Amino acid sequence: MKKCIAIVVVCLLSGSILAGPFGLFGGRRSAGNCGPNGCFVPQTTVSAQVDAQPRDGVVPPPQKQPELIHPPAKDAPLVGNFGIVEEGRGSETKITTQNGREITVEEARVRVADSVPDDSKKFRLVAIGTAEQRKPVADAYASLETPLKDRIAPWFVGADDYSLKDTTTGKTIFVTTGTPTVYLQAPDGKVLLRSDEWKGETTIGAIRKATKDYDAKKDPDGKTPIPGLPSNIPWGWIVIGVLVALFLYQHNKEKS
């Protein structure tokens, strides 16, 4: 009986030594394998998880890769285009169309020139104020005789309209406190008339006179002589005459 008990004890000890967690032929240690020196915690890197081999008959599931909506061709070079689909981008061939019909560039230029009015040579009648304040000006413009009306481009806007502001500073460069404020500008932008209220026929008469008296040839260009002084004054002879007079005056003074 004692021999049987001894044999069982020896077998149990042998199994623990050979196959236990700290044995010579022990299996893979896990976080639950603890001994006198503490617990063993396996250190596994991300790459090890990806390339993990089957252990204890368990195969780790493969990581799912993101699907490509437009997968590149097998022989296509790898280009970092940040997800831009190359197909559908503009081609080298330029096509001009109108209402879905292809036309030439020259035809497009002619049609644009015919449809967009050229106001660069016209006077500008500007009315600034509320819709109610601008209405008398718009009515008066509509009733102008055709020759005068064809020479004027209307621009009737509210006081906060973007066109009244400097594009750099954003500050309003027109007077907007009138009821309404009325401007008449020359084709180059020069102010010919400004009124802070609409006076009906009086303002219309002033507009007629300003457009009639305006002469583009008299616009200052930086080369025109100072107003009031003729351009043909012989300044050289005048200087010589002054010097001669001073000389004679000094000569007569010495003689006396």
Q: What's the predicted TM-score (pTM) here? A: 0.46
Query: From CA 70, how far away is CA 87, in angstroms rounded?
Result: 10
Bridge partners for 97 per DSSP: 102
57 or 184, which is more confident: 184
Three-state DSSP state, 16: helix
Q: Mention every residue, 6+ apart, whose C-beta is less than 8 A from residue 136.
A: 198, 200
CB atoms within 10 A of CB 185: 20
At the second CATH level, the architecture of 123-214 is 3-Layer(aba) Sandwich (3.40)
pLDDT tens-digit map of 236-251: 778 888 888 887 877 7
Beta bridge partners of 152: 123
Write the burial class of residue 51 (CB in 10 Å: 0-12 exposed, 13-18 middle, 19+ buried): exposed
> How do beta strands 152-157 and 96-98 pair?
unpaired
pLDDT(8) > 70 = no
What is the pLDDT at residue 135?
95
Pairing state of beta strands 152-157 and 123-128? parallel
pLDDT of residue 250: 79
Q: What are phi and psi of 184, to 5 degrees?
A: -125, 120
Position 45 confidence tier, pLDDT thresholds 50, 70, 90? very low
